[in-house]
Structure 1
Amino acid sequence: MTETMMAEQSILQKMGQNAKNSAKVLRNLPAGDKNEALYAMSAAIEDNHEKILKANAEDIKNGKENGLSDALIERLTLNPDRLEGMQEGLKKMAGLEDPTSKSDGQWVNDVGLKISKKRVPLGVIGIIYESRPNVTADASGLCLKAGNAVILRGGKEALNSNAAIVEVLQAGLAETNVPEESIQLITDPSRALATQFMQFNEGVDCLIPRGGAGLIQAVLKQATVPVIETGTGNCHMYVHESADMEMAASLIVNAKTHRVSVCNALETLLVDESVAEDVLPMFAAALEEAGVTIHGDARTCSLIGNAVAAGESDYTDEYLGYDIAVKVVDGYEEAIVHIDKYSTGHSDAIIATDYQVVQDFLNEVDSAAVYVNASTRFSDGEMFGFGGEIGISTQKLHARGPMGLEALTSYKYIVEGSGQIRE
């Protein structure tokens, strides 16, 4: 092992020990103390807008010089409104029920043992994420509220922003009963240290990756720490022949353009052939007015003059930008086959008024969130009433869909007796 690797390992060991110590404190803190810490973190952000924005400006400057795409620059960018959103998010978390203060059930068995199923923190959570610095505050607040310590490893593109935010959050915690080391940031962007972090079983209880397909697959392949897989969002919207087409046009534009660089943005549009000739030009005009390039199959290209011929990758990959894949389908069955083949299981929608078709779609589409006559942009912890989210899980074990506070806990059984022995 080289001296550099030994130094990196030493830094990680120290962070892990600090996190474990903090987790022990958090596990026993009353909800009021954790809420006080969240309010203090929010106030610290409010008092340090200038500091955070200055650090973010440096990241944006570096990103542009390094050729980051416009979509990635948009994800990276902070402004006063986004900082206020971070502040309000932390306050909302303080107002949520503490998941560790409740029991999932209580019963007495046939020998008189009183058995309770109690929510408990996971312990130390590791978050590996890319270029969205708002995740730093959101993840820190959610982990803390659920009684967990967190070690953050953001992308190098947002290093200055993340460091400034964590420094501010720790300053807020310094005024409370929550240890400052409850929130820590890995500032070394090396891949070697990232790999060590993924395999740091003695210091991390659970690892959550947030980012593109490359990051998530890298974590799944390299990690030995248990991983909650958050998914890429190849999200579909299927316009059935029974749809209200004006509604459909509005939903398509919103789902695609409200914020193009996020995982719940629409990436593929499917339209029934029976109505395509009448409605696709209308949909295309609305999308093109919003600056979206259409990548279509042969039938789509025959109806939309400005469409670009779509290849296989147009249906498999996330654009995370102002592009959309469009396909004309023979009907419901072909739409389902296409979604089954290409969906990442994140969020898929149908626009229809035919009751039976809607029910069939809800039953047959196996995604974490399935929509009827609504934009996929609502796949979000705050929109679901969770007060925020740590990510959107596309797996089926432990947690699925937008993950709020309860997803950051496990449970243990409390068994109370009066001298019972098993015979």
Structure 2
Amino acid sequence: MQLEEIGKKAKEAESVMRVLDTNTKNEVLQKAAENLKKDKEKILSANAVDMENGRKKGMSDGLLDRLLLTEARIAQMAEGLCQVAALEDPIGEVLSMKKRPNGLLIGQKRVPLGVVGIIYEARPNVTADAFALCFKTGNVVILKGGSDALHSNQAIVESIQHTLGELSLPETAIQLICDTSHETAEKFMRMNGYVDVLIPRGGAGLIRTVVKNATVPVIETGTGNCHIFVDESADFDMAVNIIYNAKTQRIGVCNACESIVIHEKIVDAFMPVLAERLKEKHVEIRGDERVMQALAGQEDVKKATEEDWGTEYLDYIISAKTVAGVDEAIAHINKYNTGHSEAIITENYTNAEKFLNEVDAAAVYVNASTRFTDGFEFGFGAEIGISTQKLHARGPMGLLALTSTKYIIYGNGQVRK
């Protein structure tokens, strides 16, 4: 199907979606969850084709992990649909209503964005999440996934479209652009008149390309060069457990820890303990001179370069920087971070509050893993992405991020003088 035809069908579906009642939305989401589980064999078979193609292309372990679907991950996608169904529908909410001296009642009402375009890479779970959030907020969604996940995305979209058809709703409330060429992607970014907002979700290269080339308004999601600062008062066991989780639980995700910052007073005592734990996953440490001294003679330790401080590895690699205190830690993090998620491990209340107040990021943690920056974990049911910009939405984007507002005005014959 040609892009313009996809756009026209999306606009036709939008007129139905924007007035859909909450009960119908929830029924569709719950039925779609059931059908995803029923269709799991078809989805897993499609994903197996993508995984095999990915291995042949030499995709990294981190990217293959993003691409992989399992029975458990399909169940989690289905659970995400059910959780979104259980959330309060924001559409139609009247945010304010004030009476003017001339008798006009002027209020604001929450409404759908319209047609949402999403460009994303090898993350087939995004397909279900995007549908759930867009559908609950009365939006139509056009998806442009990468070639690496094409078969998986097609299988998921077909399952959801079957659900829509079963319940007599337009199947074009969700559409997948199957042409994975760069030319088609660039045309999609310029579909003003059909697409109301565009959301890129993927690596730095994809996001830069969308921001540079799109004429459709963009909500920028970001890469995750996430840091954990280990303060001098930190509990070592807590710090090691948090860093191990944040770095190794899933290496190919944007909320994984890519860099640690250590107070100089504890570097000699702490780094050998951390290095020993990270050996379980063969994590390579790239450290500054003080870290190198603390880990002298150990394997999996290399000298860091300036480039390392700003790198999102998506691999079993972590950089390690020594600082004189919380002020230097904050300065280093604000210089090299990507505005995603940052954490401090400390028992010092003053330093914790200073870190929370001064670190410039969408999510800032005290004594917890950066891996929690996620719509599901934040109670949103799912997420459309992690926004690292500062306009409209920031952090995990749930239902509210996919809405706009309009003014509603009640009068009784007023005319302007």
Corresponding residue of 1:330: 324
Helix, strand or coil at the partner of 1:313: helix
Q: Following superposition of structure 1 onto structure 2, how do residues 105-254 of structure 1 map, counting pairs within 5 Å?
A: 105-254=96-245
Structure 2 residues without counterparts, runs of 5 or longer:
none
Offset, 1:327? 1.0
Q: Aligned pair 1:316/2:307, yes or no?
A: no
How far does the alpha carbon of each residue in 1:220-267 deviate from its partner, in whole angstroms, 9 at most, with x for none? 000000000001000000011011121111111111111111000000
How far does the alpha carbon of each residue in 1:253-287 deviate from its partner, in whole angstroms, 9 at most, with x for none? 11111111100000000000001111111011111
Tell me the distance in 2 between the aligned counterparts of 1:31 and 1:178.
14
Q: Following superposition of structure 1 onto structure 2, how do residues 337-352 of structure 1 map, counting pairs within 5 Å?
A: 337-352=331-346
Helix, strand or coil at the partner of 2:320: strand
Offset, 1:421? 2.0
Tell me the distance in 2 between the aligned counterparts of 1:275 and 1:178.
61
- The root-mean-square deviation of aligned C-alpha atoms, in Å, is 1.0
Corresponding residue of 1:373: 367
Q: Give the one of 396, 401, 413 matched to 1:419.
A: 413
Q: Aligned pair 1:255/2:249, yes or no?
A: no
More displaced stretch, 102-111 vs 340-349: 102-111
Tell me the distance in 2 between the aligned counterparts of 1:293 and 1:317.
14
Helix, strand or coil at the partner of 2:2: helix
Identity %: 55
Tell me the distance in 2 between the aligned counterparts of 1:177 and 1:384.
33
* Count of residues paired in the alignment: 414
Corresponding residue of 2:36: 45
More displaced stretch, 32-41 vs 54-63: 32-41
Tell me the distance in 2 between the aligned counterparts of 1:109 and 1:349.
46
Q: Is the CA contact 1:33–1:178 (under 8 Å) kept in the aligned structure 2? A: no
Tell me the distance in 1 between the aligned counterparts of 2:80 and 2:166.
20
Q: Aligned pair 1:389/2:380, yes or no?
A: no
Which amino acid is 1:19 matched to?
Answer: A
Tell me the distance in 2 between the aligned counterparts of 1:385 and 1:50.
29
Offset, 1:67? 1.1
Tell me the distance in 1 between the aligned counterparts of 2:186 and 2:35.
32
Give structure 1 regions of 4+ aligned residues with deviation exceeding 4 angstroms: none
Offset, 1:141? 1.0
Offset, 1:177? 4.0
TM-score where L is the length of structure 2: 0.98
Helix, strand or coil at the partner of 1:327: strand
Offset, 1:114? 1.3
TM-score where L is the length of structure 1: 0.96
Q: Aligned pair 1:363/2:352, yes or no?
A: no
How far does the alpha carbon of each residue in 1:292-348 deviate from its partner, in whole angstroms, 9 at most, with x for none? 111111111111123111112211111111111111112112211111110001000
How far does the alpha carbon of each residue in 1:4-51 deviate from its partner, in whole angstroms, 9 at most, with x for none? xxxxxx710100011011111000111111111111211111111110
How far does the alpha carbon of each residue in 1:54-84 deviate from its partner, in whole angstroms, 9 at most, with x for none? 0000001111111111111111000000000
Corresponding residue of 1:89: 80
Tell me the distance in 2 between the aligned counterparts of 1:255 and 1:106.
45
Which amino acid is 2:149 matched to?
Answer: A
Offset, 1:381? 0.8
Tell me the distance in 2 between the aligned counterparts of 1:223 and 1:40.
35
Offset, 1:110? 1.8
Tell me the distance in 2 between the aligned counterparts of 1:399 and 1:371.
19
Offset, 1:289? 1.7
Corresponding residue of 1:291: 282
Which amino acid is 2:262 matched to?
Answer: V
Tell me the distance in 1 between the aligned counterparts of 2:71 and 2:173.
26
Tell me the distance in 2 between the aligned counterparts of 1:254 and 1:110.
58
Q: Following superposition of structure 1 onto structure 2, how do residues 259-278 of structure 1 map, counting pairs within 5 Å?
A: 259-278=250-269
Which amino acid is 2:164 matched to?
Answer: L
How far does the alpha carbon of each residue in 1:71-106 deviate from its partner, in whole angstroms, 9 at most, with x for none? 111110000000000111101111111110311112
Q: Aligned pair 1:32/2:26, yes or no?
A: no
Which amino acid is 2:324 matched to?
Answer: D
